Structure 1
């Protein structure tokens, strides 16, 4: 057991042994700590939308249609209606990009 703990020492500061099991402890500054949240997602065959709140940094939409990819404008702090429309083409994927 000591060998395992020593090996994990500096490599995993957010892991803890509990009852012989390795348990991950949430880290407040994780890689998934984005500065936005979205709700009320609506997705159709050729469009999507969501109500989003940008709390820090900037965010924009990405809409991947069967003919090309559309990017929205970067927006800052505030409440935004994010959406993407492909017209007569099929929606393949959609996302929100964020940067500091």
Structure 2
């Protein structure tokens, strides 16, 4: 018996920062850092300045003083993640997460 299988690997890069930009239109197009002491996520605009996840907050702010630093909102990220997984579950019967 032959089965055709497809595998989708979804890496939601800059996810926390993207949720922040989605929820606050003033942040769209601006460098956004989620987390102050340690960078939990950086928007693509912030990454253009060399900011990376797990970087110290002080170093990140030196690289991009104009970045908007926001506190993490884990419940918002959890809800957004559930919505993404719902799309997957609506598409295929087998989803690993």
Higher share in helix: 2
Please, what TM-score do these two structures have when normalized by structure 2? 0.23
* Structure ID, larger Rg: 1
- Normalised to the residue count of structure 1, the TM-score between the two structures is 0.23
